[in-house]
Amino acid sequence: MSTFVELVEKRRSVYVLGTDSQYSKKEITDRIREVVKQVPTAFNSQTTRVVVLFDEANNKFWDHIYDVQKDILEGDMWDLMSGVMTGAKNGIGTVLFFEDLDAAKKMPTQGTRTEAYKQNNNANAQYAVWLALAEIGLGASLQHFNIGYEQGFDKATREMFNLPETYEMIAQMPFGSVEQEIGEKEHIDADVQVKVFDK
Ligand SMILES: Cc1cc2nc3c(=O)[nH]c(=O)nc-3n(C[C@H](O)[C@H](O)[C@H](O)COP(=O)(O)O)c2cc1C
């Protein structure tokens, strides 16, 4: 099996995070920068913007998410997701994924196609960063708290880090050392997932 396929298999959602890593903040950040730079985007539009949070910035961000979400989530969902929010503060940091709406507007498309390309661009970056973190032994998960540019849900995050108004928050990826057992994952039939024809 190729090293790449092994890496793809190694990447999993990790929620119980720690700070046990030999990699410095600079090494992690350099790696994220390099990967995001190489990610393909529709028309090479490079619409994705990434913000990496460590230490106080990470705590401040997750305290804010917690404060907002405690009034939104209820019951089982709160029990499940509040652990993700507090757990994110136990890790090393968080990668925030944005799309720059000014850059997205410059694509030679409109409407739902622009929206699809914007989301696809961002997803490519999310997955590449997730793999890059997994390769250096770091666990991460993908979260979608406080997203909703039109509704203003991500405004406070922009203000917190003095980000341009055109940045739409798409996802968050808290990361750190892996402090949990990773369970088996169910897979659908491979023949349903991938079909092959040669005539
Ligand atoms: C588009 C997308 C959205 C996701 N959203 C969330 C989320 O909001 N919260 C969460 O905990 N996991 C989220 N996940 C993680 C999936 O639940 C997870 O990847 C899936 O169950 C497979 O598990 P694995 O990551 O361990 O392979 C998301 C994954 C994708 C690809």
Inside any domain, residue 6: no
| DSSP designation for 162 | T
pTM: 0.97
Residue whose CA lies nearest to ligand 1 atom number 30: 142
Mutate to test the pocket of ligand 1, among 142, 172, 178 (most ligand atoms within 8 A of CB): 142
DSSP codes, 72-137? T--HHHHHHHHHHHHHHTTSSEEEEEEEEHHHHHTSS--HHHHHHHHHHHHHHHHHHHHHHHHHTT
Please provide the distance, in angstroms rounded to a whole number, between the alpha carbons at the two ends of the chain: 28
Inside any domain, residue 81: yes
Inside any domain, residue 23: yes
Inside any domain, residue 196: no
Inside any domain, residue 85: yes
> Into how many domains does the chain fold?
1
- Looking up residue 56, the CATH number of its domain turns out to be 3.40.109.10
Inside any domain, residue 25: yes
**Distance from C-alpha of 159 to C-alpha of 168, rounded to nearest angstrom:** 12
The band of 1, judged by pLDDT with boundaries at 50, 70 and 90, is low
pLDDT tens digits for range 127-143: 999 999 999 999 999 99
- Rounded to an integer, the average pLDDT of 137-157 is 98
**pLDDT score for 158:** 98
**Backbone Cα Rg of the chain:** 18
Centroid of ligand 1 to alpha carbon of 146 (angstroms): 16
Task: Please state, as a whole number, how many other Cβ atoms lie within 10 Å of the Cβ of residue 116.
Answer: 12
Inside any domain, residue 150: yes
- Rounded to an integer, the average pLDDT of 150-166 is 98
Centroid of ligand 1 to alpha carbon of 114 (angstroms): 24
DSSP codes, 19-88? ---S--HHHHHHHHHHHHHH---GGG---EEEEEEEHHHHHHHHHHHHHHHTTT--HHHHHHHHHHHHHH
Mean pLDDT, the chain, rounded, equals: 97
Inside any domain, residue 197: no
Residue whose CA lies nearest to ligand 1 atom number 2: 142
- Say which residue the tokens 């046990």 belong to: 20
**pLDDT score for 131:** 98
- Expressed as residue numbers, the domain containing 55 is 19-180
